Amino acid sequence: MAASTVRLKPIEKPTGLAMRFAFWGTRRQFKKVMTPMKVLYPRVPEMLKLSYEVQKFETRGIRLNPELHYLIVALTSRINGCDFCSDLARSMVIRERLSEMKLDALADYRTNPIFSERERAALNYVEEATRNKRVSEETFAALRKNFTEREIVEITWLNAIENYYNLINLPLGIGSDGFCALARAATP
């Protein structure tokens, strides 16, 4: 989705110290300010604190293997067609120096031998939950066989949060910000 399709004009110069600091921090981390940040938070500044806490938990509180974490996020975004989130997930894989091989094979996770039984169980669960908002007993039983209760909650939470982000970006026409290219350029 091209940047010109954004339905609310991004605000490039926010007012308020907290907002300017948030823009600076994002620019420092990602080499640019994310479009959702420029569209949402200057208009509803109260969302900034909530978003920061969610992001902080996702990056510091989730104990799942980082590769599985990003596979979950990428699959959810791919199912929903959120180019912004798909690009951001891949850029995080690049920034954290994880292999992109599984991201490239994600469409074939059910049959590709590079995916473990554990990964398949999580991805089946995420796909079914994203598409149907419910999962079958069989899908949940496979998840329970491969993950602890904490991990099941983390997988469910990551899927829910990613669906939340997708449902912000898609209706507002927010597409890719080109974070993969920026991450590749910054990675030696």
pLDDT exceeds 80 at position 124: yes
pLDDT exceeds 90 at position 171: yes
Single-letter residue type at 72: I
pLDDT (tens digit, 9 = 90+) per residue, 68-93?
Answer: 999 999 999 999 999 999 999 999 99
pLDDT exceeds 60 at position 4: no
- Give 105: exposed, middle or buried? Use CB within 10 Å, 0-12, 13-18, 19+: middle
| pLDDT of 3 | 44
Assess contact for 131 and 79: CB atoms under 8 A.
Answer: yes
- Give 137: exposed, middle or buried? Use CB within 10 Å, 0-12, 13-18, 19+: exposed
Assess contact for 90 and 103: CB atoms under 8 A.
Answer: yes
Assess contact for 32 and 182: CB atoms under 8 A.
Answer: yes
Helix axes 66-80, 149-169, angle to 10 degrees: 40
For the structural domain made of 66-169, what CATH number should be given? 1.20.1290.10
Whole-prediction pTM value? 0.95
| pLDDT of 2 | 42
SS3 assignment for 75-125: HHHHHHCCHHHHHHHHHHHHHCCCCCHHHHCHHHCCCCCCCCHHHHHHHHH
- Of 113, 115, 95, 68, the C-alpha closest to 181 is 95
| Domain span(s) for CATH 1.20.1290.10 in the chain | 66-169
